[in-house]
Structure 1
Amino acid sequence: EVGEDVTANVRTMASIPPLLKGRGWPSLLEVRGEVYMTDADFIALNAQQEADGAKLFANPRNAAAGSLRQLNPAVTAARPLRFVAHGWGESSAPFARTQSEALGRITGWGFQANEPARVVAVRGADPGELRAFFEELEQKRSGLGFSIDGVVLKVDRLDWQGRLGFVSRSPRWAVAWKFPPERAVTVVEEILCQVGRTGRITPVARLWPIGVGGVLVRRATLHNADEIARKDIRVGDTVLIQRAGDVIPQVVAVLKEKRPADSIPYRFPRQCPACGSRLAREEGEVDAVCTGGLICPAQVVERLKHFVSRDAFDIEGLGAKHIEAFHAKGLIRTPVDIFTLEVRDGRNAPPLREWEGWGETSARNLFDAIRKARMIPLDRFIYALGIHQVGQATARLLARHYLAWDHFRQSLAAAQDEQAEAHAELLAINGIGAGMVHDLLEFMAEPHNQEVLDALTRLRGDEPPLVMVTDFERPPAVSPIAGKTVVFTGSLETVSRSEAKAQAEALGANVAGAVSRKTDFVVAGPGAGSKERRARELGLTVLTEAEWLQLIAGRG
């Protein structure tokens, strides 16, 4: 997956080894971690910025992010950045049995692992030793020399991690235990309602500016109408705020003894603040949603911002402010307009190079970036569409299963029939639930969406399509099951079914929940029933657990 390429900048960091030390590393190893800046280095950097008459950074996190994304690697090299490893991603072969052993080996290969860290034994349901480590680290927090907001607890055994698995992008085998956030008192000057790209309404309090944890806070989330009513938050109230996770400001409580005498309860709007459409709220849901759909300008703009965002099309030079400006001038209304912007430049308005803040070079750079973005991998394209419940992890699951855009679209068209095999195949993808399937099919069946997809991906006479969606590329095959579709049924004796699925996926296989003609292997243990019968009816390869273990060991 290609995102923002910071390779040249990372190579300037002393904490990234140019060559691995020691021995025994896999031929393919993806080390994951975080780039950070110590408090002392941050203070020194801001002092230098001030001496140079340059803009000061708000906090070490912003300074590290901005320094890493510099266009000139020499600028990054002059910044005091450090890298700390906390895990790994792709690897061509297992290299440890536990999380702690793996980090120890990564350290031996030349990386710095996150510290302080400790293996803590938990006996039964007593979290006493965990709490003791948490409290110890909370006390040492201010003296670490860098900012942290809590502790991440991870199951140490990797086979247990595999059994627990993931929920979307979040592992079930890891949980963040946050420190109590810093708090401050300020006044609510106004309550605004923002419309998200999916139409969800989020109320926000505009506050009298107050410093919290080294950051000047001007706004705080109010979450939803129920939360406002529960806390009885009103305009003019004096409130206690905190930065949740030391990042997102929120209102903790209202100091009602300081409430103005003429205060009135806040009434949540019934119409969308952006388009005036009715707000709907389904039974059992806490969020109000704009029913305006594609006519709502707030949703259109937010969907376009998502479409060009870093993890989607990643069009350099077409940020949120530019999307808003182009939309306001009527030049970009749908994703299609992005890719026709250059050919329409100067037709009904002055050419872009003549706009305030633009010039010949910046306009040319933008058009070049748009042309470069015309080719996009399948998983990023699916994610760019902004389908409800389809984040990066789900988009990658879908791309990994269907491989090509045409196959994906045709399969979802066929899956509109709930009795069709394509519908069963979609539901059978490991990690795809019924609610997600409903949202996918609703999006793909909507006529306006189909028009946009056709305009983006279909041939235009002798001209190529506006967007070329490239096939999903699996990691290089390192096992006999890479790229194969596997179904497990019945009881397994040497490992649990969850562990077997995790192992198969780690070796590059697609794990499905139902048998179809596209299934390559069915692993049947004792008690296998209809799935095994169905597999034999279709003439598929049915393996015992022992045969499966031989196959993945390369002896099948």
Structure 2
Amino acid sequence: MDIQNTIQTLREELNLHNYNYYVLDHPVISDYEFDIKLKQLQDLESKYPEYFDSNSPTQRVGGTITKNFKTIPHEYRMYSLDNSYSKEDLVEWEKRIQKVLGEVPLEYTCELKYDGASISITYENGKLVRAITRGDGFQGDDVTTNIKTIRSIPLQLKGSFPDKFDARGEIILPFAGFEKMNQELIEIGETPYSNPRNTASGSLKLQDSAEVAKRPLDCLLYFLIGNKLPFTSQFEGLEVARKWGFKVPIEAKLAHNLQEVFEFIDYWDVHRHELPYETDGVVVKVNRLQYQDELGYTAKSPRWAMAYKFKSEQVSTRLNSISYQVGRTGAITPVANLEAVQLAGTIVKRASLHNADQIEKLDIRVGDTVFVEKGGEIIPKIIAVDLTKRPEDSEPTKYITHCPECHTLLVRNEGEANHYCPNFYGCPPQIIGRIQHFISRKAMDIEGLGGETVALLYNNHLVQNYADLYDLTVDQIRPLERMAQKSAENLVKGVENSKKIPFERVLYALGIRYVGETVAKKLAKHYKNIDALSQATLMDLVLVDEIGERIAQSVIEFFENQENRNIIDRLKAYGVQFEIVEKINPNATDRLAGKVFVVSGVFEKFSRDDLKKAIEDNGGKIGSSISAKTDYVVAGDNMGPAKLEKASKLNIPIISEIEFMKLLE
């Protein structure tokens, strides 16, 4: 066997499958088959290191640590765009262009303005050699290792191409990925990210490229720059880039006059909310490169391009006060209490201020008139202060130094944005928050016990930690406000039934920092019981699949605490499950290995849970939503029309439960 040829063939094949999946959104092999080929390539590269290639598909998983990012000059300066906020601005812009070019017929390329982080990627002989952030436009940070983990960025181009050029694109974080990341943070008690743009930008400077690889970042190309490029217009350049393997949004349009530009703007001002990522305007570029060269640049911007910014719905209102919330991990979140105001169809009274840095950056003060808009159309945020209306006796905001609940001195760890209350076992909101997490649906799912009841039990000195729940009696609960005999009995019964909850959910319920649902499952599956996990070393934990040093350190710190160990001993004594019960299914097969199923609707022969279990018992995976990765949708009665439409659009087979059973025969 010719090893070098085998390795090269595998690389080319995997690059093509990456392109089909992440750029065309049209995979032709299953994830399972892709993983098998990737593992084969990894094994060969490990065995024959002399054939190492920094642009191999195996390098996309990351793992390189970068302590300091080198500053590199841009070969071609990265300019900013001039902004316009009205169609009149664009008319004036066209007049300025015609003054330079004369009365020539003008065409424009209209592209959506993506809200992310700009990147310049250098290719030599079709290979990615360097990626630099915008920086100050003249120089930026070398983030090549992190950029290589983004799968929509080609490492090796297709077809014929110049010896050297730079590709300019925007690194973005689609809404679905952003929401998933935030949900995982919420599950482990951390403060969610404020918006997709800042999260995408911050991801490029993470020191561990393996962490970047876990984030669902995307790159949308908008410009190619270099010598002797094989096209004569911006729009043609986008088409050429698409052929070379770049992800170029299909929304771009060639407009033959300003009226067509306005039509493009009007359309996307309405339909932008249907896009899977943030966009805040339209970029209009003179199409012919010859005219771009003639128009040139000002000190800051190209004269041949203009950004039309969509109007975000924003209102002004008074900031009445700033309060501070304490999360279950002790993280402090400042909250702006506003004079009630209508915004994007809802009444807004509060807005997150995120952290002390944000307050200082905007110089937000109580009594200020502030401008509020909905960040990402979801979370209200303060974007600026109207300094013309600031009271004369106004004083800068002094961020609190002590916990608002237990008055402990706050701490702020190096490199972290949030302040924390370190009084983990004595701060009421943290105690209540941990118990509320313990009883939540994805954790112990204790019926008859809600968040308000937990606070009631704590405030009446009946519980101080989640182990105390198992000592509660009906006679203790019944005298409490809003409690009756039946509700007290249901609560005690719910606590008793929680002893049947499996170990992986119990582990998640403990509320170990950074241990969300998925991590808890991995740890439970690997260690089998709480005793083995509690004795694991840092190195043992880091070697577990997808367990990084931060999670490992948090697990160790949790078990080093005597109070935590005492609580676990009590829970064991009450009969809570701290060991995986291995269930052997004699009918299990690998018939569905590598296949992803989405289950939707109501079924006759299976419950939804039984159907999902049958899929997993036979090697299949359950998808939470329909995507290009889905192999089958198992549909019952009353399947949602949106899922039906999406499955049809992606040409994903929709099968009945009878057809599913035939797959297993």
Q: TM-score, length-normalised on structure 1?
A: 0.52
- Code of the residue aligned with 2:324 in structure 1: it is C
Query: Which residue of structure 1 lines up, in the alignment, with residue 357 of structure 2?
Result: 226
Distance apart, 1:371 and its partner CA = 1.7
Structure 1 gap segments, 5+ residues each? 1-25, 27-120, 154-178, 459-464, 483-504, 510-556
CA change 1:352–1:185 in 2 (3 A) is: same
Alignment pair present for 1:188 and 2:319: yes
- Code of the residue aligned with 1:412 in structure 2: it is L
Q: Distance in 2 between matches of 1:447 and 1:293?
A: 13
Distance apart, 1:142 and its partner CA = 5.7
CA change 1:231–1:481 in 2 (3 A) is: same
- Point out the structure with max Rg over C-alpha: 2
CA change 1:317–1:126 in 2 (3 A) is: same
Contact 1:205 1:222 in 2 (8 A): yes
Alignment pair present for 1:412 and 2:412: no
Alignment pair present for 1:201 and 2:332: yes
Q: How does 1:179-328 map to 2 (within 5 A)?
A: 182-328=313-459
- Code of the residue aligned with 1:457 in structure 2: it is K
Match of 1:451 among 556, 559, 566: 566
Q: Distance in 1 between matches of 2:618 and 2:311?
A: 37
Match of 1:438 among 553, 558, 567: 553
Q: Distance in 1 between matches of 2:427 and 2:352?
A: 22
Contact 2:591 2:618 in 1 (8 A): no
Q: Distance in 2 between matches of 1:268 and 1:194?
A: 13
Alignment pair present for 1:373 and 2:482: no
Contact 1:399 1:472 in 2 (8 A): no
CA change 1:447–1:240 in 2 (3 A) is: same
Q: Distance in 2 between matches of 1:472 and 1:290?
A: 38
Q: How does 1:158-173 map to 2 (within 5 A)?
A: none
* Identical-residue share of aligned pairs (%): 35
- Code of the residue aligned with 2:451 in structure 1: it is A
Q: Distance in 2 between matches of 1:128 and 1:338?
A: 54
CA change 1:401–1:255 in 2 (3 A) is: same
CA change 1:469–1:413 in 2 (3 A) is: closer
Distance apart, 1:221 and its partner CA = 0.5
Query: Which residue of structure 2 lines up, in the alignment, with residue 394 of structure 1?
Result: 519
Q: Distance in 1 between matches of 2:312 and 2:497?
A: 43
CA change 1:129–1:481 in 2 (3 A) is: closer
Contact 1:475 1:508 in 2 (8 A): no
Query: Which residue of structure 2 lines up, in the alignment, with residue 383 of structure 1?
Result: 508
Query: Which residue of structure 2 lines up, in the alignment, with residue 462 of structure 1?
Result: none
Distance apart, 1:200 and its partner CA = 0.7
Q: Distance in 1 between matches of 2:559 and 2:431?
A: 17
* Per-residue deviation, residues 28-64 of structure 1 (Å, max 9, x unmatched): xxxxxxxxxxxxxxxxxxxxxxxxxxxxxxxxxxxxx
- Code of the residue aligned with 1:479 in structure 2: it is D
Q: Distance in 2 between matches of 1:150 and 1:472?
A: 44
Alignment pair present for 1:129 and 2:250: yes
Match of 1:357 among 482, 496, 503: 482
CA change 1:365–1:391 in 2 (3 A) is: same
Query: Which residue of structure 2 lines up, in the alignment, with residue 427 of structure 1?
Result: 542
Contact 2:337 2:349 in 1 (8 A): yes
CA change 1:413–1:360 in 2 (3 A) is: closer
Q: Distance in 2 between matches of 1:250 and 1:366?
A: 39
Contact 1:122 1:129 in 2 (8 A): no
Distance apart, 1:354 and its partner CA = 3.7
CA change 1:217–1:442 in 2 (3 A) is: same
CA change 1:448–1:245 in 2 (3 A) is: same
Alignment pair present for 1:467 and 2:588: no
Q: Distance in 2 between matches of 1:305 and 1:132?
A: 51
Contact 1:280 1:289 in 2 (8 A): yes
- Code of the residue aligned with 1:436 in structure 2: it is I
Contact 2:355 2:418 in 1 (8 A): yes
Residue 218 of structure 1 aligns to a residue in which SS? Answer: strand
- Code of the residue aligned with 2:372 in structure 1: it is I
Q: Distance in 1 between matches of 2:488 and 2:370?
A: 46
- Code of the residue aligned with 1:248 in structure 2: it is I
Q: Distance in 1 between matches of 2:324 and 2:252?
A: 39
Q: Distance in 2 between matches of 1:180 and 1:415?
A: 54
Query: Which residue of structure 1 lines up, in the alignment, with residue 64 of structure 2?
Result: none
CA change 1:289–1:136 in 2 (3 A) is: farther
Q: Distance in 1 between matches of 2:449 and 2:253?
A: 48
Runs of 4+ in 1 over 4 A off after TM superposition: 121-126, 130-133, 135-138, 140-144, 472-477, 505-509
Contact 1:379 1:472 in 2 (8 A): no
Query: Which residue of structure 1 lines up, in the alignment, with residue 134 of structure 2?
Result: none
Contact 2:506 2:578 in 1 (8 A): yes
Contact 1:185 1:240 in 2 (8 A): yes
Query: Which residue of structure 1 lines up, in the alignment, with residue 276 of structure 2?
Result: 151
* Per-residue deviation, residues 240-289 of structure 1 (Å, max 9, x unmatched): 11222333221111111121111110001111111111111112221111
Distance apart, 1:215 and its partner CA = 1.7
Distance apart, 1:427 and its partner CA = 1.7
CA change 1:259–1:357 in 2 (3 A) is: same
Contact 2:333 2:352 in 1 (8 A): yes
Q: Distance in 1 between matches of 2:520 and 2:325?
A: 26
- Code of the residue aligned with 1:185 in structure 2: it is S
Q: Distance in 1 between matches of 2:375 and 2:251?
A: 22
Query: Which residue of structure 2 lines up, in the alignment, with residue 478 of structure 1?
Result: 589
Residue 437 of structure 1 aligns to a residue in which SS? Answer: helix
Q: Which has the higher contact order (CA 8 A, sep 6+)?
A: 2
Residue 295 of structure 1 aligns to a residue in which SS? Answer: coil
Q: Distance in 2 between matches of 1:184 and 1:452?
A: 49
Q: Distance in 1 between matches of 2:441 and 2:334?
A: 26
CA RMSD of aligned residues (A): 3.4
Contact 1:313 1:373 in 2 (8 A): yes
Distance apart, 1:316 and its partner CA = 2.5
Q: Distance in 1 between matches of 2:264 and 2:520?
A: 40
Query: Which residue of structure 2 lines up, in the alignment, with residue 176 of structure 1?
Result: none
CA change 1:388–1:138 in 2 (3 A) is: farther
Q: Distance in 2 between matches of 1:269 and 1:301?
A: 22
